[in-house]
């Protein structure tokens, strides 16, 4: 899109996105626009392409975009390296956060924050200020500071890993977060903490894309829009009611085939 006609309020604009993984087309012409401060939820049956969408937006290798465009704040996201996308303010909350033995959470987070700040042309955060920042964020999110000294996600329970994603999100302060099944495998306490983390971000007018299999999270984080992804496309868009309908009737009840892909 021509920069001069670009509407400032558009945070993420995906047009006709086709993505191939291992020679197989998973996304088949997906359109999605998320404006500043909006919370969108994408739901869909297994194999619909939900995780593929999050990886393609964040630039993971092996997810080949064969057609379409993704603009982020008007910039061509697909032309950027994953770290540049992060530097532009995009955050991906992983469905399965990766364990990194030998790298402490603190060291990792400080390196990440300063990498982003360098990219943005800002001064690096000093060790002392970083400590203050991370302690404050850990407290806000009710996370044990001891967890930050441990190696990244090593030996963490499923819930701890997701909390750790929230700490990272809070410290890195993105303008948009894509949260890929961040709610899966959480007990009710952990779910509340995760929801709290998301709502804090929302309170600051950030954009959020929730990718979820169940509507449970949506009780805590009420989305502005709910989309149903099936067979590589958005097939239905509505409000929170759509999620409730899905919960009640199932995908088949709404005329959407499970495992359509």
Partner 1 sequence: MTLKRYLDTPEVGRNFEKRKTGFVGADQAWLSDLRARAMDKFMATGLPGPKVEEWKYTNLGFLARFLAQPQANENFEISKTDPDTAEIKSLFDRAYIENISGPVVVFVNGHFYSALSSRPDEDGVTFSIFSENPGGFRQSLAEEKESTPLNNLNRAMVTDGYYLEVSAQVTMSRPIQIIHLATSGSDGQSLHTRGKISLAASARAKVIESFLGPDGPQYWTHMISDVDVAEKAELDYFQLQLQGKQAIHITELHSVLLKKAKFNHMNLQLGAEVSRSEIMNSLSGEYAEIGLRGAYLGRVKQSHDIFTRINHDKSHCQSNQLFRGVLDEGGKSAFQGKVIVARDAQKTNADQSNKNLLLSRKAEANAKPELLIYADDVKCTHGATVGELDRDQLFYLRSRGLDEAAAKELLVEAFVAEVFSTMKNGGEKNGDDMEILQQRFTEKTRGWLSREVIS
Task: Quickly tell me which residue has 């929230």 as its tokens.
Answer: 166
Q: Which two tokens stand for residue 242?
A: 């759509």
How large is the angle between the packed helices 158-172 and 188-203, nearest 10 degrees? 10
CB 74 within 8 A of CB 204: no
Nearest to 99 by CA among 157, 42, 152, 175: 152
According to CB under 8 A, which one of 102, 121, 155, 203 is a site residue for partner 1?
Answer: 102
59 binds partner 1 (CB under 8 A): yes
Taking contact as CB under 8 A, which single stretch among the options 28-36, 80-88, 217-225, 230-238 is the one that binds partner 1? 80-88
Beta carbon of residue 31, minimum distance to partner 1 (angstroms, whole number): 24
Q: Which two tokens stand for residue 224?
A: 């502005």
Q: Which two tokens stand for residue 98?
A: 């990766």
Taking contact as CB under 8 A, which single stretch among the options 34-42, 66-74, 92-100, 122-130 is the one that binds partner 1? 92-100
Nearest to 13 by CA among 77, 96, 70: 70
Size of the site for partner 1 (CB under 8 A): 28
Beta carbon of residue 196, minimum distance to partner 1 (angstroms, whole number): 21
Beta carbon of residue 53, minimum distance to partner 1 (angstroms, whole number): 15
Q: Nearer Cβ to partner 1, position 70 or 242?
A: 70
123 binds partner 1 (CB under 8 A): no
The DSSP call for residue 120 is T
- Name the residues that contact partner 1, by CB under 8 A: 58-61, 81-83, 85-87, 92, 94, 97-98, 100-103, 107-108, 111-113, 115-116, 119, 168, 172
């Amino acid at each position: 899109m021509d920069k001069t006609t670009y509407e400032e309020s558009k945070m993420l604009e995906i047009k006709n996105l086709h993505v191939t993984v291992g020679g197989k087309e998973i996304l088949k012409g997906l359109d999605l626009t998320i404006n500043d401060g909006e919370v969108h939820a994408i739901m869909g049956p297994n194999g619909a392409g939900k995780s593929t969408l999050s990886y393609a937006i964040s630039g993971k290798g092996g997810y080949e975009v064969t057609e379409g465009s993704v603009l982020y704040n008007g910039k061509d996201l697909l032309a950027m390296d994953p770290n540049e996308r992060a530097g532009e303010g995009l955050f991906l909350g992983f469905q399965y956060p990766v364990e990194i033995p030998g790298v402490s959470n603190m060291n990792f987070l400080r390196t990440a924050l300063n990498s982003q700040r360098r990219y943005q042309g800002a001064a690096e955060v000093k060790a002392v200020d970083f400590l203050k920042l991370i302690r404050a964020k850990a407290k806000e999110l009710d996370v044990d500071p001891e967890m930050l000294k441990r190696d990244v996600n090593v030996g963490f329970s499923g819930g701890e890993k997701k909390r750790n994603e929230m700490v990272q999100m809070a410290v890195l302060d993105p303008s948009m977060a894509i949260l890929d099944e961040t709610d899966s495998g959480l007990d009710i306490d952990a779910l509340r903490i995760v929801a709290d983390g998301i709502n804090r971000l929302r309170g600051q007018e950030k954009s959020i894309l929730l990718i979820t299999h169940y509507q449970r999270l949506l009780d805590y984080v009420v989305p502005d829009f709910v989309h149903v992804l099936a067979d590589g496309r958005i097939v239905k868009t509505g409000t929170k009611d759509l999620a409730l309908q899905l919960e009640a009737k199932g995908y088949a009840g709404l005329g959407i085939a499970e495992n359509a892909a």
